[in-house]
Amino acid sequence: MPDLRVVPAAMLLLHEQHDVQRSEPLLRRLQTDRVLKNPPVVAPVRGEQRYVVLDGANRVAAMRALGIVHIAVQVVDYEDAELVLDTWHHLVKGIGAGHFKGMLQAAQGVEIERSDASHARARLARREILAFVEYANGEVWTLQASGDLHQRTRRLNEIVDLYKVQARIFRASIDHLPSLLPFHDDVAALVVFPRFAPAEIIDLARVGACLPAGITRHVIPRRALRINLPLTVLSGGASLSEKNAWLADWLKQQLASRTVRYYHESTFLFDE
């Protein structure tokens, strides 16, 4: 069974920025529905009473904005061999490719060079570049900046900040733009990001140095979805221990009523 707990919102550390395009609609939905549909997934920080949010930065940001001090989460072991840290890439839409190129030129401290896709992928795998950009006409450009992990993270945020307001960002799991074009219109470019390591995620989160929204992708084994917990329970005046006791009793009731289902296979959902 998943490890579900109620924890203080103040003890949750974000490792990436929340996405306003996603968090604001989520905030309105929480205000209307008054339930937490899917719990954020968190991992404990060794030697501390804090947790790194692996997935659910937008939910945490929305619930904090509502003044909810306790949040129901799913706690996982970051060293679980079945837990995979992967990468999302940004499919940028809604602005012209020429305008997008001009925006990237404004990035301070970033060197932009023409490349080919295979060489760019190799350099990204060796972490020699921050990211690379692929355009629909086949052009590939690398983005390079010097510095340590924290300095490069600041550069990545500055790059994404250039386009995240004007453009629409869709998360893509593949780094090959031609494979995506049949399913999308009005594409400006695909921004391809590197893979990060769990130790880097923990290091960034502990000091509040967040990555841009929508880059890290955690594949969580035995994930808990659609728990639909009433926000009145989480926002009420009961103590943390009382709320966790309520949650434990709720889980027993769900099992007794046979409403819990486990699906082992990979799944596509069309009602999100």
pLDDT computed for residue 271 by the predictor: 76
For 78, other C-beta atoms within 10 Å of its C-beta total: 18
Q: What's the mean pLDDT in 267-272?
A: 78
User: Could you tell me the pTM of the whole model?
Assistant: 0.88
Read off the tokens for 178: 């031609």
Q: What's the mean pLDDT in 23-51?
A: 92
Give the CATH number of domain 3-84+218-256; options: 3.20.20.140, 3.90.1530.10, 3.90.1150.10, 1.10.240.10: 3.90.1530.10
Kindly indicate the confidence band of residue 181, based on its pLDDT and cuts at 50, 70 and 90: very high
The one-letter amino acid code at 139 reads: E
User: Is the distance from CB of 104 to CB of 159 less than 8 angstroms?
Assistant: yes
Domain ranges of the chain: 3-84+218-256, 89-192
Q: What's the mean pLDDT in 207-230?
A: 93
Backbone CA torsion sign across 53, 57, 61, 63: negative
pLDDT computed for residue 133 by the predictor: 98
Greater confidence, 146 or 23? 146
Q: Is the pLDDT of residue 24 over 90?
A: no
Kindly indicate the confidence band of residue 108, based on its pLDDT and cuts at 50, 70 and 90: confident
pLDDT computed for residue 217 by the predictor: 95
Angle, helix 97-105 to helix 149-163, in steps of 10 degrees: 140
Mean pLDDT estimate for the chain = 93
Alpha carbon distance 171, 176 (integer Å) = 13
Model pLDDT for residues 113-157, shown as the tens digit of each residue: 999 999 999 999 999 999 999 999 999 999 999 999 999 999 999
Greater confidence, 23 or 167? 167
User: Is the distance from CB of 169 to CB of 92 less than 8 angstroms?
Assistant: yes
Model pLDDT for residues 63-82, shown as the tens digit of each residue: 999 999 999 999 999 999 89
HEC states along the chain? CCEEEEEEHHHEEECECCCHHHHHHHHHHHHHHCEECCCCEEEECCCCCCEEEEECHHHHHHHHHCCCCEEEEEECCCCCCCCEEEECEEEEECCCHHHHHHHHHCCCCCEEEEECHHHHHHHHHCCCCCEEEECCCCCEEEEECCCCHHHHHHHHHHHHHHHCCCCEEEEECCCCHHHHHHHCCCEEEEEECCCCCHHHHHHHHHCCCCECCCCEEEECCCCCCCCCEEHHHHHCCCCHHHHHHHHHHHHHHHHHCCCCCCCCCCCCCCCC
Kindly indicate the confidence band of residue 272, based on its pLDDT and cuts at 50, 70 and 90: low
Torsions phi, psi of 233, nearest 5?
Answer: -70, -45
